[in-house]
Structure 1
Amino acid sequence: MQVSAMNAAASPVAATRGSATWRLVTIESKLCLRDKVAPIWGVGCPLIVLIILGSLPVLRKPLEAAGGLTIFDMYVPVLIIFNLAILAMTALPATLAGYRENGVLRRMQATPVGPARLLTAQLVANLAIALVAMILFLAVAGLGFGVALPRHLIGFAVAWLLAAAALLAIGLLITALVPGRSSASAIGTVLFFPMMFFAGLWVPIAQMPPVLQTISHYTPLGAGMQAFQDAYLGHFPSALPLVILAAYAAGCAVIAVHWFRWE
């Protein structure tokens, strides 16, 4: 009887916690859309770049050295990574750092929300936006410019999830430590451009010197691109890039929760 009573008492508490987390996720998702930073910069900007590049005939000529792929074909996964990087380095830190700067986090500190629940809500909200953007990019590239889907869809899905988790965890880490929007924007920008370089946005990874190629493979975007390329070629991504992405995701998330600042 006593055990049953304890279980009955625990169930409403667990349900309340779960529903509170879901409500927080819903609210943060609405605020992300209302703030317009993530939709405009994280989705609109990469999509415009995708359409512009796809409209250039010189980028859509098959290359024998690339197995018949075009330069545009190779840029589609780069732009998917580009979308994740903008969300993680720009939109997410600006939102939560803005909360801290405006005193919202200080007021939330007195509630049972907790850093883990708040950061999870932001992670889920931005992950949903990134998922919509990725599907939109693949649809526009395929229907508008004839770019084939990744040949190994399951491998691509795993690579994308780990890349998204790794980059958003880095964004959460920035958010957990900086005092306000200006600091978050500065740090995010400083990290964004080197990361995009090692992802092959300006120079394809295969054309980099050997030293830079090695460095690229151990960066989150470089590892993500390596996993994407494996999936596009029809292979399940090799273990090393997936392990690197998982390590970034877990490590940065744990540090972000541990060192989170309310003020």
Structure 2
Amino acid sequence: MSALVRLTATETKLFFREPMAVFFALAFPPVLLVILGSIPSMRQADPALGGARGIDLYAPILIAMAITMFAISGLPQQFTTYREKGALRRMRTTPVKPVVLLGAQLLMATILSAATTAVVLAVGRLAFDVRLPQQPLGYLVGYALAALAMFAIGLLVAALAPTGKSAGAIGTVLFFPILFFAGLWVPREAMGAVLRRISDLTPLGAGVQALRDAALGHWPQPLHLAVMLGWTIVAGGLAGRYFRWE
């Protein structure tokens, strides 16, 4: 545990030395929320969105974005780079095994993405009257499963990518369709029936809807919880099967 804490602190310091990574992972989701909330139409009920306000719909989407930034943009590239440079191989000869470094990366990403989530919720509530989750336990369950599913996908990318650059490229290719089906460009409420059904079967589409349901005071739908759990099991199992330390 002591080694995990020290490595987590070290990885966090290294992360904060990359200003662009810090901005896009931590600051961009709240900044984008402020930009969207500054548009008058986003603060008005929209019949095309089922009477909801656009800003209410985008809060969980931006939380999902924060998770995705760490899960498939940061974690795979960093860990694959360590493997490429032989750092993981050298760690295997020390008392601190490479799995501890993996745990430190996951712990750092979890803590920082949770902090971004708290900022998005606070800004939404204080600046734009976005309601806080009315079903806190359901919100926590939905958030945890969305994070687990995305981190499992990120670990699968790290398992399959041969180099840090290729991991970054794969993460970029995955980033846009995953967030599209989460509703970043077209909110789920404005999607057609076919697109929404596809979205229901994606990890972040299911995650965003689970967060949205919990925000309104409802327990997340079993379908969405099952989808996120399924992605976690399948992607995590494949990552464990193909993961290489060197």
Normalization by structure 1: what TM-score? Answer: 0.85
1:65 and 1:207, CA in 2 relative to 1: closer, same or farther beyond 3 A? closer
Cα distance between partner residues in 2 of 1:250 and 1:33: 31
> Is residue 28–residue 122 contact of structure 1 (8 Å, CA) maintained in 2?
yes
| CA offset digits 1:121-161 (Å, max 9, x no partner) | 21111000001000001111111222111221211111111
Does the 8 Å contact 1:159/1:224 carry over to 2? yes
Aligned to 1:3: none
SS in 2 for 1:34: coil
Structure 1: gaps of 5 or more residues = 1-17
Partner of 1:191: 174
Specify the alignment match of 1:71 in structure 2: 54
CA–CA distance in 2 between the matches of 1:67 and 1:217? 18
Instruction: Give the equivalent residue in structure 2 for 1:148.
Output: 131
Q: Tell me how far apart the structure 2 counterparts of residues 201 and 21 of structure 1 sit (CA, whole Å).
A: 35
Amino acid of the residue matched to residue 175 of structure 1? A
- Which range is displaced more, 175-184 or 115-124? 115-124
Q: Which of 83, 91, 94 is equivalent to 2:77?
A: 94
Could you tell me which residue of structure 2 aligns to residue 83 of structure 1? 66
Counterpart in 1 of 2:196? 213
Tell whether the 8 Å contact from 2:49 to 2:189 is kept in structure 1 after alignment.
no
d(CA) in 1 for partners of 2:238, 2:46:
44
Identity level (%): 46
Q: What is the RMSD of the two structures over their aligned residues, measured on CA atoms?
A: 2.0
Does structure 1 residue 129 correspond to structure 2 residue 112?
yes
Match of 2:41 in 1: 58
Residue 102 of structure 1, CA deviation: 2.7
Q: Does residue 1:231 correspond to 2:214, yes or no?
A: yes
Q: 1:182 aligns with which of 160, 165, 169?
A: 165
Contact 2:88–2:98 (CA under 8 A) maintained in structure 1: no
Q: Secondary structure at the match of 2:138?
A: helix
For residue 254 of structure 1, what is the amino acid of its counterpart? Answer: G
TM-fit CA distance, 1:109: 2.9
Cα distance 1:257–1:95, how it changes in 2: closer, same or farther (>3 A)? same
Compute the displacement of 1:82 (Å).
1.1
Describe the SS at the equivalent of 1:193. helix
TM-score of the pair, normalised by structure 2: 0.90
Which residue does the alignment assign to 2:87? 104
Relative to structure 1, the CA distance from residue 79 to residue 157 in structure 2 (aligned partners, 3 Å threshold; closer, same or farther) is same
Letter in 1 for 2:178: M
Distance 1:39 1:196, change over 3 A: same
**For structure 2, which runs of at least 5 residues remain unmatched after alignment?**
none
- Quick one: structure 1 residues 194 and 154, their matched pair in 2 at CA, closer, same or farther if it must change by over 3 Å? same
Does the CA-based 8 Å contact 2:48-2:190 persist in structure 1? no
Structure 2 partner of 1:5: none
Contact 2:89 2:245 in 1 (8 A): yes
Preserved contact between residue 38 and residue 87 of structure 1 (Cα < 8 Å): no
What is the deviation of 1:71? 0.8
- Which of 32, 36, 46 is the matching residue for 1:49? 32
